[in-house]
Amino acid sequence: MSVGDEVIDSPVRTNTTKVPHRIPSLSPTIYHEDWWLDICSEGAVREVQVTRDGAAIARLPYMMTRHLGLITCSMPPLVHFSGPTFAPMDGPESSQMQQRNDMTRELLGRLPPYDVLSLKLYHGIADTLAFQREGCKTSVQFTFEIDPSSNDKLWAAIRRGHRRLIRDAQALHTVDTDAAPDEFVAFYSSNVENAGKQFRYDAARVERLIQACLHRGRGHILLARDSTGAAKAGLFTMWDQEGAGRMYNFLGTRAPGQPAASASVLLVWAALQEASRRRLTFDFDGVYNAGQVQYFAGFGGRVTPRYIVSHASRRAKITYGLYSLANRRKEHMF
C-alpha cells in the first residue's frame, strides 16, 4: 500500500466474521492474527474462507485499495507477509499438498474482483504451484533465520567484526528493556527525519501496534542508552503465539554515528539471546538491500526464501505502462 492509496470496502463472497478463538494453525504468524490485522488496516481487512461442516479449514486475509483507478488486493501496511493458512490435515504429504493446492485455488476464486494481486507469503508456504495455476507470477525475497541455541553457540556463530562491535557497545551503552512505546516511536521518527526521509507508516498506528503487543506479552522494546541516558539505538521485536515459534526483527533504528551503529549490533545480540530463551527462531523479517545482507550475515544463521505472488490484469498493465511513460516524459522536460 502506497501513500495516497484509497482503502475500499470489498463485496463479501464468503463468511468474513471474525472468529474469537481460531485454531492456532489458521493464525500461524502474528501477522495473521485478527487483532494485528485490525490495527494495521484500521478495520479494513477482510478474509475469504473455505469451510467444512460450518468450521473454517482455510483462510486468506486481504485488503482492497484503489490507486490510479485500479483495485489492488494485497496485505495491509505493517503486515510483512501473509498468505493462505490451513487447519491440520491427515494423510500422506502428497495428499496434504493436493488439499492445500485445492483450497488455495478455492480461496483465490472467492476473492472480490481486482486489477492487481500482490502477496508476500509466510514461511509455511513452501511452493506457489496453486498460485501459478491461477496465472500468478512468482518472485522471491530472502530472509535470515537463527534457530534457538545456547549463548555460547550463538556467540561462536557471530563474525569477528560483529563481536568486536558488541564489546565496544557494551562499554559505552546500557540496554534498557523498559522503554515506553511513545518514546521508541518518537526516537524512530526523529532518526528517519534526520536522515532526510519520510516515515513510511502512520506513527500513531505503529505505537498502537507496539502497545498491543506489550499488552499481550508478545513484544519487546530495546533501547541502547549512552552514559547520559540518551537513546542511541532502538529495536522492537515481537513473536508468534505459543507453539508457532518465531520472533521477528520488526523495527530497528539508530542515531547517526559509529557508536550508535555498534549499539544496533548490541541490541540484535540481546534480542537473539531473548529469542533463544523463549525457544524461538529469530527471523530478520526480510532482506531489502545489499547492506542488510552483510549486516544480517554477520550474526550467522541461514538464508531462507519468502515467495511473492502477483497478478496484473491487462487493464492494469496498460495503466502502469502509460503512467510510467508519462513520468519519463516529465523527467525529460525539466
In sequence order, what are the residues at sequence separation of 6 or more whose Cβ sits closer than 8 angstroms to the Cβ of residue 218? 30, 238, 239, 241
- pLDDT of 199 > 80? The answer is yes
**Cell triple for residue 236?**
522492537
- pLDDT of 143 > 90? The answer is yes
The SS3 of residue 9 is coil
Tell me the whole-structure pTM to 2 decimals.
0.89
Q: Over the chain, what is the mean pLDDT?
A: 90
pLDDT above 90 as % of the chain: 79
Q: Are 271 and 247 in contact (CB under 8 A)?
A: yes
* Residue in the structure block whose three cell numbers are 563481536: 163
The residue that leads in pLDDT, 148 or 10, is 148
- pLDDT of 280 > 60? The answer is yes
What does R_g of the chain's alpha carbons equal in angstroms?
Answer: 21
CB atoms within 10 A of CB 281: 21
Q: For the chain, list the domains and their CATH numbers.
A: 6-143+306-333 (3.40.630), 148-300 (3.40.630.30)
Band (185; pLDDT cuts 50, 70, 90):
very high
C-alpha angle 37/38/41, rounded to 5°? Answer: 80
- pLDDT of 152 > 90? The answer is yes
Ranges of beta strands (E only) in the chain are: 6-8, 46-52, 55-67, 70-74, 85-86, 116-120, 137-146, 174-176, 219-225, 231-239, 246-254, 281-283, 302-312
- pLDDT of 28 > 90? The answer is yes
pLDDT digits (tens, 9 = 90+) for 13-27: 434 444 444 566 899
Total residues belonging to the chain: 334
The amino acid at residue 104 is: T
pLDDT of residue 25: 81
pLDDT of residue 88: 92
The amino acid at residue 332 is: H
Band (330; pLDDT cuts 50, 70, 90):
low
Band (260; pLDDT cuts 50, 70, 90):
confident
